[in-house]
Structure 1
Amino acid sequence: MAPFTMKSAKSAKKTVEIPKMTSPHYVIDGDQVKLVEHRDINENMEVLGAVTKKVYEQLGKLKNKTFKNVRDVHIACNQCHQVFLTSCLEHPLFWVPNQIDRAVRGPYTHKTLPAQYFRISDEGRVKGQGIRAIRNIPTGLVFGPYEGTRTLAKDCANPDYSWDILVNGETWAVDGKKNGNWLVLINSPNYQREANMVALQHKGEMNYVVYKPIRQGEELTVWYGAEFGKRLAKWRKQAEKE
């Protein structure tokens, strides 16, 4: 599967001026991850964690005002249409680290599932297993990286379970079919516009970003690219006839 590429913006949107903070924290406020001063946190917010001084100093620093030539060490904000060294201050990203719960019985995909957010679901004969939210999920959460066996893309045995990663001019594949983590269970929608997550290559790894609010009980979906979409449509039509 080819990596997601941002759409070029005609012009940068004006961002909201955010006052400098002395003790910034990531919080979930409604449908979005936000940065707030510690003293301004209220009972309606869910605290995700404090922002270190080093990270905070990089937040909001512009790299480019357009999406041209975006390197994978930088973060493009789809709402501001600008590229930042780390993340946008107005629309920050909070990276939920991969975890392994060895007390969970079952395959590695089950052990790595962030159970505080999601559950594994049976999506029927056509789609197989999937992932559904057990609570409302805000935009700005990032899950990953996508795990698997790394090979050169041309040598990848399971392209439908793999992401292509461009590293130093070479295209590598991360094949999650045999030893992938829970992200391999996230299905593709029938159309790109229906996806609620987007794949983001960052520092040589593929991650999934929530870019539409996900409601409790809703299935997670990420677009795997046009070529995969064509094959997927063919598989699903064939399965429905059987």
Structure 2
Amino acid sequence: MMVSSLKTYIWKNFLGLLCSGIDVYIMLDENFDINSSSRIDAKPHSQRNEKSYSHRFLYISNETLQQSGVSYMNKLPRIQYTAWDRTVAWLYTLSNFSTVWLIEQDVQWYHPNNMTKLFNLFISNEANILCTNIVSRTNSWNHWPTTKSDIFPDIYWTGSFSPLVRWSYRLIRSHYQYMRLIHQNRLQKQFDIDFRFQEFIFATIAKMENFTLDVYNNYHFLQIGLNIYNDDDIIQRILKGKYILHCVKHDSILTRYTPNKLARIIRRNYTKQN
């Protein structure tokens, strides 16, 4: 999970996944003291089991990112280092996984079981990128690079819509190798920072390496798009069976209530409408 800071609803979503058996980590965009008295669970220090999840709250410094050459993985807003960059740099250091799901903080869900259902549906799927949509070079897209590159010929340019995406270990290692090329002064033309944008560069590398790309957007319980949903919007989508939503950018009814209580609220709402 990639987040700007450890807000209450992020904490709740993290605990929900963890208690569902997911090996979940949070990459923060700011340094966070796990022993701080301001921890959201508000338990006294003497009552905490630090070993249970203290290692699951991560932060990679800007200095480390600069040394590894990871930057501008996020395009909007145009900030050099974000949780996306920190996550990619951290994944560079790991080797004990075959695939990893990355979840932006504005992806929320009705019940943690909805997320485990999605993960389980694709356990046997061997795609190196699994995302909600793939954009080919023939399509109009606002995020294509505006310059050319000898390392990434435009015949391979591919985009992926990835607020909720799964990458393979092979893909991450290939990304690492290509970032090394960028920093070895082997460029024939000026290299635009748009080439680092994760929704462009990972899919493009996959195409260049003949890796497989796949989508999961044909499942009814998913609503992954560009609209920003308020609580009324969320209720309407849950009534239609949409249980994983993007974009939800606040502490919504999905995190303010337990699933059982939310179900009662939705039933009342449905009765009033009918």
TM-score between the two structures when normalised by the length of structure 1:
0.29
Q: Which one has the bigger strand percentage? A: 1
Structure with greater Cα Rg: 2
TM-score between the two structures when normalised by the length of structure 2:
0.26
Q: Which one has the bigger helix percentage? A: 2
